[in-house]
Structure 1
Amino acid sequence: MIVVGLTGGIGSGKTTVANFFKTLGVPVYIADDEAKKLMNSSKVIKKELVAIFGSKAYLDGLLNRDYLANKIFTDQSLLQKMNKIVHPQVAKHFKEWLKKQNSDYVIKEAAIIFEHQKQAEYDRIITVVATKEARMKRLLKRDGSSRARIEAIMANQMPDSDKIKRSHFVIENNLLEATEKQVLETHNSILESLKI
């Protein structure tokens, strides 16, 4: 069984692409979703986050996401500290999840594979791209964020052109029908490569 990384910039539509792979019967692990769950359920993470961010990091036992988002948005060092706490726990959780899967390949969706130099952990990497305007439109609708905040997040991420150079597959997610077709083609290419 091989591990295929699925990545792409904010608003590129990684979840949409992941869902198309799920409909093909491919097990999918969404790292961000699992990280959020672990930040609420792991005593180790809770203890360490409270040590850094203070008691306001949690409200009624649940992660105070707005409070943390504001803290890390204005201080990159806090973001790095948080990642050092959360990422190893997510990696451990993924390994446990992987043991339970039974398929030719699995997909691990993670936004910052290249930014954190984690590409060696994957057998293949798929990058999802979309036009800047399509991404902006999705994010304004989904998050209710300001254009300026979205621009700032995009500026912090590696450009698509760099990700494309390092990827095995690229899926353009601008029109759903075309995206679904590319997912099927990519799926077939991965299965074909495993026969060799």
Structure 2
Amino acid sequence: MLKIGVTGGIGSGKTQVCSIISAMGYPIFNADLVARRIVEEDSKIIMSIKEVFGDNIYSNGLLNRKRVAELVFSNPKLLETLNYIVHPAVKDYFNNWVLNYHSRSLVVEEAAILFESDTYKDLDKIIVVSAPLEVRINRVKKRDGMSREAILNRINSQLHQEELIKRGDYIIENDEVQLILPQIVVIINDLLKDSL
């Protein structure tokens, strides 16, 4: 079984690419969604987050995501600490999830920070989804209603797109000019050919 990572900066179109791969019949593990769930369900992680951010970062059992985002995307050390708390648990979830698909030829992990969290080390190949900065900003504004400044803070907290492209095995240009489906098909075919 090939374990493939799909990554890219905020607004690059990772989820769109993974939706297409899923429609092709391949299982997708969305690390960001699992992380969101873990921070509200795992008592050890909740305790660790409260130790760093204070008890009032939770209200009625729900993490104040907006406040956490304000804090971590303006303070790289806090972001690093949060990732250190959450990502080992996400990795464990992924490893258990993979066991359900042992007979599959290919599974995919979608994650914004595959390289920063060292998740890439457990994967066979990495697909990077790339898009021009202004396209990414406009997508996130439309999707999340965030300000340009907040979006840029998030972009600047992640590995720069150029670095992702250097480190990826495959690149999908999601620039609203090139079609992404043909790019995905070529990559999947290449991956499966190499695994035979």
TM-score bracket for this pair, using the shorter chain length: over 0.9
| Matching of residues 152-167 of structure 1 within 5 Å | 152-167=153-168
Q: Give the Cα–Cα distance (whole angstroms) in 1 for the partners of residues 178 and 170 of structure 2.
A: 18
Residues 2 and 123 of structure 1 are in contact (CA less than 8 Å); yes or no, is this contact kept in structure 2?
yes
Deviations 1:25-48 (A, max 9, x none): 111001000000111111111111
Q: Give the Cα–Cα distance (whole angstroms) in 2 for the partners of residues 51 and 164 of structure 1.
A: 36
8-17 or 128-137, which deviates more:
128-137
Q: Which residue of 2 aligns with 1:113?
A: 114
Give aligned pairs, total. Answer: 195
22-31 or 102-111, which deviates more:
102-111
Deviations 1:61-109 (A, max 9, x none): 1111112122223322222211111011111111111111131011111
Q: Give the Cα–Cα distance (whole angstroms) in 1 for the partners of residues 136 and 10 of structure 2.
A: 7
Distance 1:157 1:71, change over 3 A: closer
Q: Which residue of 2 aligns with 1:28?
A: 28
Distance 1:158 1:51, change over 3 A: closer
Q: Give the Cα–Cα distance (whole angstroms) in 2 for the partners of residues 21 and 114 of structure 1.
A: 21
Q: Which residue of 2 aligns with 1:77?
A: 77
Question: Identical aligned pairs, as a percentage?
Answer: 36
Aligned partner of residue 47 in structure 1, secondary structure: helix
Residues 127 and 170 of structure 2 are in contact (CA less than 8 Å); yes or no, is this contact kept in structure 1?
yes
How far 1:161 sits from its partner (Å)? 2.3
62-71 or 99-108, which deviates more:
62-71
Quick check: 1:104 aligned with 2:105?
yes
Q: Give the Cα–Cα distance (whole angstroms) in 2 for the partners of residues 167 and 84 of structure 1.
A: 23
Q: Which runs of 5+ in 2 are unaligned?
A: none
Residues 56 and 67 of structure 1 are in contact (CA less than 8 Å); yes or no, is this contact kept in structure 2?
no
Residues 12 and 129 of structure 1 are in contact (CA less than 8 Å); yes or no, is this contact kept in structure 2?
yes
Letter in 2 for 1:47: M
Q: Give the Cα–Cα distance (whole angstroms) in 2 for the partners of residues 77 and 165 of structure 1.
A: 25
Residues 9 and 157 of structure 1 are in contact (CA less than 8 Å); yes or no, is this contact kept in structure 2?
yes
Aligned partner of residue 113 in structure 1, secondary structure: coil
Q: Give the Cα–Cα distance (whole angstroms) in 2 for the partners of residues 151 and 70 of structure 1.
A: 12
Q: Give the Cα–Cα distance (whole angstroms) in 1 for the partners of residues 178 and 19 of structure 2.
A: 13
| Matching of residues 1-196 of structure 1 within 5 Å | 1-101=1-101, 102-175=103-176, 178-195=179-196
